[in-house]
Structure 1
Amino acid sequence: MSRPRIAVAGAGSIGCFVGGLLHAGGHDVRLLARARLCEALARHALRVTDYGAVDITQRDVAATDDPATALEGADVVLVCVKSGDTQTMAQLIRDHAPQAQVISLQNGVGNADILRRALPSADVRAAMVPFNVVSRGRGHFHRGTSGDIMVEAGPLPDLDCQGLRWVQTDRIEAVQWGKLVLNLGNAVNALSDLPLLTQLQDRRWRRVMAAQMAEALRILRVAGITPAKSAAAPPWLIPHILRLPTPLFRRIAAQMLTIDATARSSMWEDLTHRRPTEIDALQGVILDLAQRHGRQAPLTARMRGLIKDAEAAGAGPPGLDPSDIDARF
C-alpha cells in the first residue's frame, strides 16, 4: 500500500517539527504555512532537532501559503492551527480536501468537534501532542520535551518514524483534559520569561503551577470531568509532586520527563513574536466551567488577566516574579 499524502494545515512549530519528521521518514508532506515561514524554509531549509539524537535538515520539503496547493489531493490533513483559527481551517479543508482523514494536533478540548461539525463526512480524529517545540529561527524547530502523540482510536495510516510515535487511545477526551490541566503551566512559563527547566528548579514557581492546577482540578471535579493521565503521573498527583522540596522533586521529575535546558512554552513563543495566545482555550475554558457551575477560580482568572495584559502591551514576555502573580508565592 502506498503511503498517504499528508498536508500539515497551519505549519508552525509543532506542524513543522511533525511534518519534518514525517517527510524524513519517507512520507509525501506539504506544509501550509505563512508566507514568511515559507520564505525562511526556502532560504535556510527545514531543520528539526530534539533533546536526544534527532538532527535532520531537509531542503526539499514542500511549503506553501496557498491552501489549494497544500490541501488538494491530501489523504491526511494534520490540523496545527491555533484554536481560534479552527473554523477557518475547517472551511479550507472542506473546499480543498473534503475526503481526507483529519487529525487535530491542537491544544484545548473542543477543536475536533468544530472540525466534525464543519466536515460531517470526514473521518476526524482528536489527538494530543505532549511535547514542546520552539522555533529557533532560520527554519529550525527544536523539541525540548519527551512524549508520544496520542490519537483517537480507529483506522490510521502508519505514521511512526524516527523521533515520532503515535499511540491510539479510546479515552482521547479525558487525555485532552489531562493535557489541558498541564498546559495551564504555559501561561506561567510565558509570564516568567524563563526556560522551563530553570523555572522548574525554583520551588516558588512550582508552587504557582501546583496551585493553578489544583484549582482547575477542583473545577473539573465539580463539572463531573475526570482527566486522564497525559504524562508519566496522573493529573491529581502532579500538584503534590510540584510542591516537593527541590532535591526530591528533581529525582522524581527525572524519571517522569525528559526536558532540555532550552525548552519554553508555546505561549512564551507567542508573546515573544507578538502573536495572540491560546489563553482563552486553556485558562478561559476553566473559567467558563467555573462560571457555569457557580464556582470561583481566582488564580486562573489572574493568569488570564496577566497574559491578556502582556498581549495588549506587545512588549513580549513580562519577566514576572512569583510574587507578582500572588503574594502567597
Structure 2
Amino acid sequence: MKVAVMGAGAVGCFFGGMLARAGHDVVLIGRPQHVEAITRDGLRLEAQQFDERIGAPHLTASTETSAVAGADLVLFCVKSTDTEGAGAAIKPYLGAETLVLTLQNGADNAERLRTVIAQDVAAAVVYVATEMAGPGHVRHHGRGELVIEPSRASEATARTLIDAGVPTEISPNVRGALWAKLIVNCAYNALSAITQLPYGRLVKGSGVSETMHDIVGECVAVAQADGVTLPPDMDSAVTRIAQTMPGQYSSTAQDLARGKLSEIDHLNGYVVKRGAALGVPTPANRMLQTLVRLIEDKARAAI
C-alpha cells in the first residue's frame, strides 16, 4: 500500500512509521526541520518495544502537499484548526479511490473535511501517547490503537494496520467514540497545559479529581443533548487514562510549551459551542478554554 501522512507530527510519524516498518511505502509530509532530519537519517521511532530508524526505500519525507499524489491511503493528522485549509491543499492530488482517514483531536473533523474534498473520508479515534522528542524523532509512551468508522475501504485498511502492529477496530458508533475521546481530552488537555504537568502528577493535585468530574459531567450532558451514544461510566474511563499514560503531557501542553496555538477551541471550546446551541451550561469548560487562550495571547504578545 502507498500511504501519505498529511501533517507528520507525533501521531502521524508513529502510525506512518509503523506502516513503513511493515513494508508499505510511506511519505511523511511535515515541517522542514523534520523532513530534513528524516531525509538525512531516517525516522527514529522510539517505541516501547523497540528503538529503530526507518528510512528509504519504504519511508520518505516531503514538505510539499503534492506528495500525496498516488496514495491509496492518506492519514490526515493536521491540527483541527487546519482541517479545511489542509484538505483544500491536498485536494488536487488525491486519486478517485483514495481513502482519507482523519487521525485528529475533536469530534467534527471528518464532516468538515467532507465539505472540502469528494474522496472517501473516514473518521478515526486515536488512542496513543506520543511526542516529537526532536527533529525526525518520535517517542512512544503508550497504547497505539485506532477505532475507525465503516467505509468502502475500511476493512482492507484495518487489516493493513493490524498486520503492521496497530490494533484497529471498525465501529458503527465512531461518533460516540469520538465524543468519548473528546471528553478525555477536555478533562486532561487544558489542565495539563496550564500546569505543564504530566497526567500522573496532575491527578494527584488537590481538587483535581473533583474538577475533572465537573468537566466530564458538562461534556456528557452536552453529548446526550446532541443525541450521542456514549460508552458507560465516562468518569472511570477518564481516571484510567492517568493510570495507563502517567508520563504523558497533553498535546495542548506540548503546543503551549513550544509557543504554538493549541486546539483548545476544538476541544473544551467545541463543548462550549455545542452547549450554547443546545441550551446546556458549560462553565468549567468555558473557564479552561478562556485560561488557555489567555496563555496563548500572553505568549504571542511576548514575541
Helix, strand or coil at the partner of 2:222? helix
Q: Deviations over 1:230-283 (max 9, x none)?
A: xxxx425446xx4xxxxxxxxxx49x953253x211111111111111111111
Q: Does 1:54 align with 2:50?
A: yes
Q: Distance in 2 between the 1:207 and 1:103 partners?
A: 36
Measured on the aligned residues, the alpha-carbon RMSD in Å equals 2.1
Helix, strand or coil at the partner of 1:218? helix
Q: Deviations over 1:201-255 (max 9, x none)?
A: 33532332222111221222233333236xxxx425446xx4xxxxxxxxxx49x
What TM-score does the superposition give when structure 1 sets the normalisation length?
0.82
Task: Give the drift of 1:15.
Answer: 0.5
Helix, strand or coil at the partner of 2:27? strand
Q: Distance in 2 between the 1:280 and 1:140 partners?
A: 28
Which amino acid letter does the alignment assign opposite residue 268 of structure 2? Q
Go from structure 1 to structure 2 and tell me whether the alpha carbon gap of 1:94 and 1:162 turns closer, same or farther (over 3 Å shift): closer
Q: Distance in 2 between the 1:194 and 1:33 partners?
A: 27
Helix, strand or coil at the partner of 2:273? helix
Q: Distance in 1 between the 2:254 and 2:149 partners?
A: 28
Which residue of structure 2 aligns with residue 192 of structure 1? 195
Q: Distance in 2 between the 1:30 and 1:125 partners?
A: 20
Q: Is the 8 A contact 1:217 1:236 kept in 2?
A: no
Q: Does 1:212 align with 2:210?
A: no
Task: Give the drift of 1:160.
Answer: 2.1
Q: Is the 8 A contact 2:198 2:246 kept in 1?
A: no
Which residue of structure 1 aligns with residue 174 of structure 2? 172
Go from structure 1 to structure 2 and tell me whether the alpha carbon gap of 1:201 and 1:55 turns closer, same or farther (over 3 Å shift): farther
Task: Give the drift of 1:30.
Answer: 0.3
Q: Distance in 1 between the 2:65 and 2:219 partners?
A: 38
Go from structure 1 to structure 2 and tell me whether the alpha carbon gap of 1:162 and 1:119 turns closer, same or farther (over 3 Å shift): closer
Q: Distance in 1 between the 2:200 and 2:140 partners?
A: 13
Go from structure 1 to structure 2 and tell me whether the alpha carbon gap of 1:137 and 1:19 turns closer, same or farther (over 3 Å shift): same
Q: Deviations over 1:155-177 (max 9, x none)?
A: 33312245422211111111101
Helix, strand or coil at the partner of 2:26? strand
Gaps of 5+ in 2: none
Which residue of structure 2 aligns with residue 249 of structure 1? none
Q: Which has the higher strand share?
A: 2
Which residue of structure 2 aligns with residue 119 of structure 1? 117
Which of the numbers 264, 278, 301 marks the counterpart of 1:293?
278
Q: Distance in 1 between the 2:16 and 2:230 partners?
A: 28
Task: Give the drift of 1:145.
Answer: 2.8
Q: Is the 8 A contact 2:29 2:62 kept in 1?
A: yes
Which residue of structure 2 aligns with residue 101 of structure 1? 99
Q: Distance in 2 between the 1:257 and 1:148 partners?
A: 17
Range with bigger deviation, 31-40 or 296-305: 31-40
Helix, strand or coil at the partner of 1:104? strand
Aligned residue-pair number = 291
Which residue of structure 2 aligns with residue 277 of structure 1? 262
Q: Does 1:183 align with 2:185?
A: yes
Which of the numbers 258, 262, 272 marks the counterpart of 2:244?
258
Which amino acid letter does the alignment assign opposite residue 134 of structure 2? G
Q: Is the 8 A contact 2:127 2:145 kept in 1?
A: yes
Which of the numbers 108, 111, 116 marks the counterpart of 1:110?
108
Which of the numbers 19, 39, 44 marks the counterpart of 1:42?
39
Give % identity. 29
Task: Give the drift of 1:199.
Answer: 1.6
Q: Distance in 2 between the 1:141 and 1:84 partners?
A: 22
Q: Is the 8 A contact 1:283 1:304 kept in 2?
A: yes
Instruction: Report matched runs for 1:139-178 at 5 Å.
Output: 139-154=136-151, 155=153, 156-157=156-157, 158-161=160-163, 163-178=165-180
Which residue of structure 2 aligns with residue 235 of structure 1? 234
Q: Distance in 2 between the 1:203 and 1:161 partners?
A: 44
Which amino acid letter does the alignment assign opposite residue 305 of structure 1? T
Q: Which has the higher helix share?
A: 2
Which amino acid letter does the alignment assign opposite residue 225 of structure 2? V
Q: Distance in 2 between the 1:37 and 1:44 partners?
A: 10
Helix, strand or coil at the partner of 1:11? coil
Gaps of 5+ in 1: 243-252, 316-329
